[in-house]
Structure 1
Protein backbone atom coordinates (compact mmCIF):
# COMPACT_ATOMS: atom_id res chain seq x y z
CA UNK A 1 0.00 0.00 0.00
CA UNK A 2 2.86 2.38 0.83
CA UNK A 3 4.31 1.87 -2.67
CA UNK A 4 1.00 2.77 -4.32
CA UNK A 5 0.65 5.94 -2.24
CA UNK A 6 4.25 6.90 -3.02
CA UNK A 7 3.70 6.28 -6.75
CA UNK A 8 0.55 8.44 -6.80
CA UNK A 9 2.34 11.21 -4.89
CA UNK A 10 5.38 11.17 -7.20
CA UNK A 11 3.11 11.06 -10.29
CA UNK A 12 1.13 14.05 -8.97
CA UNK A 13 4.29 16.05 -8.28
CA UNK A 14 5.69 15.28 -11.72
CA UNK A 15 2.62 16.80 -13.39
CA UNK A 16 2.90 20.12 -11.53
CA UNK A 17 4.37 22.77 -13.81
CA UNK A 18 6.72 25.29 -12.23
CA UNK A 19 8.66 28.13 -13.80
CA UNK A 20 11.83 26.11 -13.28
CA UNK A 21 10.42 23.15 -15.23
CA UNK A 22 9.93 25.44 -18.26
CA UNK A 23 13.45 26.89 -18.35
CA UNK A 24 15.10 25.89 -21.62
CA UNK A 25 14.64 25.98 -25.37
CA UNK A 26 11.41 24.74 -26.95
CA UNK A 27 10.48 24.08 -30.57
CA UNK A 28 6.88 24.21 -31.74
CA UNK A 29 5.74 20.65 -32.50
CA UNK A 30 2.12 21.34 -33.46
CA UNK A 31 -0.72 23.73 -32.86
CA UNK A 32 -3.90 25.38 -34.00
CA UNK A 33 -5.76 28.62 -33.46
CA UNK A 34 -9.07 30.27 -34.24
CA UNK A 35 -8.54 33.01 -36.84
CA UNK A 36 -10.41 36.34 -37.13
CA UNK A 37 -13.16 34.63 -39.17
CA UNK A 38 -13.73 32.02 -36.46
CA UNK A 39 -12.10 29.26 -38.50
CA UNK A 40 -9.79 26.66 -36.95
CA UNK A 41 -6.33 26.91 -38.54
CA UNK A 42 -3.78 24.10 -38.13
CA UNK A 43 -0.19 25.35 -37.88
CA UNK A 44 1.11 22.51 -40.05
CA UNK A 45 -0.93 23.78 -43.01
CA UNK A 46 0.88 27.12 -42.69
CA UNK A 47 4.36 25.63 -42.62
CA UNK A 48 4.59 27.24 -39.20
CA UNK A 49 7.85 26.92 -37.19
CA UNK A 50 8.79 28.55 -33.93
CA UNK A 51 11.38 28.55 -31.15
CA UNK A 52 10.67 29.74 -27.61
CA UNK A 53 13.41 30.39 -25.08
CA UNK A 54 12.50 30.49 -21.40
CA UNK A 55 14.76 31.82 -18.63
CA UNK A 56 13.88 31.97 -14.94
CA UNK A 57 11.77 35.08 -15.51
CA UNK A 58 11.55 35.90 -19.24
CA UNK A 59 10.42 34.35 -22.52
CA UNK A 60 11.20 35.11 -26.12
CA UNK A 61 9.90 33.52 -29.30
CA UNK A 62 10.40 33.85 -33.02
CA UNK A 63 8.00 32.27 -35.51
CA UNK A 64 8.33 31.62 -39.22
CA UNK A 65 5.70 30.83 -41.83
CA UNK A 66 7.62 28.71 -44.30
CA UNK A 67 10.86 30.60 -44.89
CA UNK A 68 9.41 34.02 -44.06
CA UNK A 69 9.36 35.82 -40.73
CA UNK A 70 5.91 35.62 -39.10
CA UNK A 71 6.09 37.05 -35.56
CA UNK A 72 8.20 37.53 -32.47
CA UNK A 73 7.59 38.52 -28.91
CA UNK A 74 9.30 38.70 -25.56
CA UNK A 75 8.57 39.67 -22.02
CA UNK A 76 8.07 38.17 -18.59
CA UNK A 77 6.02 35.18 -17.54
CA UNK A 78 4.66 33.49 -14.46
CA UNK A 79 3.32 30.05 -13.65
CA UNK A 80 0.65 29.63 -11.01
CA UNK A 81 -2.19 27.17 -10.37
CA UNK A 82 -1.79 25.37 -13.71
CA UNK A 83 -1.68 28.62 -15.69
CA UNK A 84 1.22 29.98 -17.73
CA UNK A 85 0.89 33.75 -18.27
CA UNK A 86 3.02 35.71 -20.72
CA UNK A 87 3.22 39.47 -20.28
CA UNK A 88 4.50 41.07 -23.47
CA UNK A 89 7.20 43.72 -23.39
CA UNK A 90 8.05 43.74 -27.12
CA UNK A 91 6.30 42.12 -30.07
CA UNK A 92 5.95 42.35 -33.82
CA UNK A 93 2.20 41.77 -34.05
CA UNK A 94 0.72 44.99 -32.72
CA UNK A 95 -0.20 44.08 -29.15
CA UNK A 96 0.32 46.75 -26.50
CA UNK A 97 3.26 46.36 -24.15
CA UNK A 98 1.87 44.78 -20.99
CA UNK A 99 -0.73 42.65 -22.78
CA UNK A 100 -1.12 39.26 -21.13
CA UNK A 101 -1.86 35.87 -22.61
CA UNK A 102 -2.99 33.15 -20.19
CA UNK A 103 -2.69 29.46 -21.03
CA UNK A 104 -3.66 26.26 -19.27
CA UNK A 105 -0.33 24.45 -19.08
CA UNK A 106 0.79 20.84 -18.80
CA UNK A 107 4.15 19.11 -19.28
CA UNK A 108 4.35 15.46 -20.32
CA UNK A 109 7.89 14.10 -20.73
CA UNK A 110 9.62 16.49 -23.18
CA UNK A 111 6.33 18.06 -24.39
CA UNK A 112 4.75 21.28 -23.13
CA UNK A 113 1.02 21.71 -23.87
CA UNK A 114 -0.63 25.14 -23.84
CA UNK A 115 -4.33 25.91 -24.28
CA UNK A 116 -5.65 29.48 -24.43
CA UNK A 117 -9.35 30.12 -23.92
CA UNK A 118 -11.63 33.09 -24.57
CA UNK A 119 -15.28 33.16 -23.46
CA UNK A 120 -15.25 29.37 -22.96
CA UNK A 121 -13.83 28.66 -26.44
CA UNK A 122 -10.33 27.32 -26.96
CA UNK A 123 -8.73 29.88 -29.28
CA UNK A 124 -5.22 28.47 -29.35
CA UNK A 125 -3.53 25.15 -28.65
CA UNK A 126 0.21 24.58 -28.88
CA UNK A 127 2.51 21.65 -28.25
CA UNK A 128 6.17 22.50 -27.74
CA UNK A 129 9.02 19.96 -27.65
CA UNK A 130 12.04 20.56 -25.42
CA UNK A 131 15.23 20.80 -27.51
CA UNK A 132 17.56 21.98 -24.73
Structure 2
Protein backbone atom coordinates (compact mmCIF):
# COMPACT_ATOMS: atom_id res chain seq x y z
CA UNK A 1 0.00 0.00 0.00
CA UNK A 2 2.85 2.42 0.80
CA UNK A 3 4.38 1.73 -2.61
CA UNK A 4 1.15 2.82 -4.30
CA UNK A 5 1.08 6.05 -2.28
CA UNK A 6 4.69 6.77 -3.15
CA UNK A 7 3.95 6.12 -6.84
CA UNK A 8 0.90 8.43 -6.77
CA UNK A 9 2.93 11.22 -5.11
CA UNK A 10 5.78 10.74 -7.59
CA UNK A 11 3.40 10.90 -10.58
CA UNK A 12 1.71 14.03 -9.22
CA UNK A 13 5.06 15.77 -8.72
CA UNK A 14 6.27 14.67 -12.14
CA UNK A 15 3.12 16.02 -13.80
CA UNK A 16 3.59 19.38 -12.05
CA UNK A 17 7.24 19.64 -13.10
CA UNK A 18 6.42 18.57 -16.67
CA UNK A 19 3.72 21.24 -16.93
CA UNK A 20 5.98 23.90 -15.47
CA UNK A 21 8.89 23.08 -17.78
CA UNK A 22 6.54 23.44 -20.75
CA UNK A 23 6.20 27.14 -19.86
CA UNK A 24 9.79 27.93 -18.93
CA UNK A 25 11.33 30.64 -21.07
CA UNK A 26 10.42 34.03 -22.49
CA UNK A 27 7.04 34.85 -24.04
CA UNK A 28 5.76 37.82 -26.05
CA UNK A 29 2.10 38.82 -26.10
CA UNK A 30 0.82 38.66 -29.68
CA UNK A 31 -2.90 39.32 -29.17
CA UNK A 32 -5.65 39.40 -26.62
CA UNK A 33 -8.47 41.31 -25.03
CA UNK A 34 -9.88 42.12 -21.62
CA UNK A 35 -13.05 43.51 -20.08
CA UNK A 36 -12.38 46.94 -18.54
CA UNK A 37 -14.02 48.24 -15.32
CA UNK A 38 -16.86 49.71 -17.42
CA UNK A 39 -17.64 46.26 -18.83
CA UNK A 40 -16.31 47.09 -22.31
CA UNK A 41 -14.24 44.58 -24.27
CA UNK A 42 -10.84 46.10 -25.09
CA UNK A 43 -8.68 44.62 -27.84
CA UNK A 44 -4.97 44.67 -26.97
CA UNK A 45 -3.95 45.55 -30.52
CA UNK A 46 -6.31 48.55 -30.55
CA UNK A 47 -4.52 50.03 -27.52
CA UNK A 48 -1.06 48.94 -28.75
CA UNK A 49 -0.52 46.62 -25.78
CA UNK A 50 2.92 44.99 -25.70
CA UNK A 51 4.09 42.61 -23.01
CA UNK A 52 6.92 40.24 -22.20
CA UNK A 53 6.67 37.43 -19.65
CA UNK A 54 9.57 35.37 -18.35
CA UNK A 55 8.91 32.09 -16.59
CA UNK A 56 11.37 29.99 -14.59
CA UNK A 57 10.70 26.69 -12.86
CA UNK A 58 8.75 28.42 -10.09
CA UNK A 59 8.44 32.16 -10.79
CA UNK A 60 7.04 34.52 -13.41
CA UNK A 61 7.68 38.15 -14.19
CA UNK A 62 6.04 40.42 -16.76
CA UNK A 63 6.19 43.99 -17.99
CA UNK A 64 3.51 45.53 -20.19
CA UNK A 65 3.45 48.71 -22.24
CA UNK A 66 0.49 50.56 -23.77
CA UNK A 67 2.05 52.14 -26.83
CA UNK A 68 5.21 53.83 -25.56
CA UNK A 69 3.89 54.21 -22.00
CA UNK A 70 4.43 51.88 -19.07
CA UNK A 71 1.22 49.94 -18.31
CA UNK A 72 1.91 47.31 -15.63
CA UNK A 73 4.38 44.86 -14.17
CA UNK A 74 4.19 41.97 -11.77
CA UNK A 75 6.12 39.05 -10.43
CA UNK A 76 5.53 36.09 -8.18
CA UNK A 77 5.09 32.33 -8.25
CA UNK A 78 2.89 30.23 -10.48
CA UNK A 79 1.38 26.78 -10.86
CA UNK A 80 0.50 25.06 -14.13
CA UNK A 81 -1.52 21.89 -13.69
CA UNK A 82 -4.17 20.10 -15.74
CA UNK A 83 -4.85 23.04 -18.04
CA UNK A 84 -4.95 25.62 -15.24
CA UNK A 85 -2.33 28.37 -14.91
CA UNK A 86 -2.42 30.38 -11.67
CA UNK A 87 -0.20 33.33 -10.84
CA UNK A 88 0.28 34.30 -7.19
CA UNK A 89 1.56 37.85 -7.02
CA UNK A 90 4.49 38.89 -4.88
CA UNK A 91 5.01 42.40 -6.27
CA UNK A 92 3.03 44.38 -8.82
CA UNK A 93 2.40 47.89 -10.05
CA UNK A 94 -1.40 47.71 -10.15
CA UNK A 95 -2.40 47.59 -6.49
CA UNK A 96 -3.12 43.91 -5.88
CA UNK A 97 -1.92 42.86 -2.42
CA UNK A 98 0.85 40.25 -2.23
CA UNK A 99 -0.71 36.80 -2.40
CA UNK A 100 -3.43 37.88 -4.82
CA UNK A 101 -4.05 35.36 -7.58
CA UNK A 102 -5.11 35.30 -11.21
CA UNK A 103 -6.23 31.94 -12.63
CA UNK A 104 -6.50 31.05 -16.30
CA UNK A 105 -7.64 28.11 -18.38
CA UNK A 106 -4.45 27.49 -20.31
CA UNK A 107 -2.88 25.43 -23.07
CA UNK A 108 0.37 25.36 -25.00
CA UNK A 109 0.32 24.38 -28.67
CA UNK A 110 3.72 24.46 -30.32
CA UNK A 111 5.19 27.93 -29.84
CA UNK A 112 1.88 29.48 -28.73
CA UNK A 113 0.39 29.70 -25.24
CA UNK A 114 -3.32 30.47 -24.87
CA UNK A 115 -4.86 31.80 -21.64
CA UNK A 116 -8.44 32.71 -20.80
CA UNK A 117 -9.52 34.12 -17.45
CA UNK A 118 -13.12 33.78 -16.31
CA UNK A 119 -15.29 35.35 -13.64
CA UNK A 120 -18.19 32.96 -13.27
CA UNK A 121 -19.39 32.20 -16.79
CA UNK A 122 -18.00 35.42 -18.30
CA UNK A 123 -14.59 35.53 -19.95
CA UNK A 124 -12.82 38.68 -18.74
CA UNK A 125 -9.41 38.22 -20.35
CA UNK A 126 -7.90 36.32 -23.25
CA UNK A 127 -4.20 36.20 -24.14
CA UNK A 128 -2.13 34.64 -26.89
CA UNK A 129 1.60 34.47 -26.20
CA UNK A 130 4.38 33.36 -28.51
CA UNK A 131 7.59 31.83 -27.26
CA UNK A 132 10.59 34.07 -28.02
CA UNK A 133 13.35 32.18 -29.76
Q: Where on the TM-score scale, by shorter chain, does this alignment land: which range?
A: 0.7 to 0.9
Q: In 1, distance between residues paired with 2:69 and 2:82?
A: 36
Aligned equivalent of 1:83: 84
SS of the residue corresponding to residue 18 of structure 1 reads helix
Aligned equivalent of 1:5: none
1:5-16 equivalences under 5 Å are: none
Q: TM-score, normalised by structure 1?
A: 0.86
- What do residues 29-66 of structure 1 show as CA deviations (whole Å, max 9, x unaligned)? 00000011111000001110000000000000000000
Aligned equivalent of 1:73: 74
Provide structure 1 residue ranges, at least 5 long, that are not aligned to the other structure: 1-16
Provide structure 2 residue ranges, at least 5 long, that are not aligned to the other structure: 1-17
Q: CA deviation at 1:119?
A: 1.4
Aligned equivalent of 1:20: 21
Q: In 2, distance between residues paired with 1:81 and 1:20?
A: 14
SS of the residue corresponding to residue 70 of structure 2 reads strand
Task: State whether structure 2 residue 102 is matched by structure 1 residue 120.
Answer: no
Task: State whether structure 2 residue 60 is matched by structure 1 residue 59.
Answer: yes
Q: TM-score, normalised by structure 2?
A: 0.85
After the TM superposition, which parts of structure 1 deviate over 6 Å for at least 4 consecutive aligned residues?
A: none
Q: In 2, distance between residues paired with 1:82 and 1:94?
A: 27
Aligned equivalent of 1:37: 38
Q: CA deviation at 1:80?
A: 1.4
Aligned equivalent of 1:9: none
Q: In 2, distance between residues paired with 1:118 and 1:109?
A: 28
Q: CA deviation at 1:108?
A: 1.1
Q: In 1, distance between residues paired with 2:93 and 2:77?
A: 16
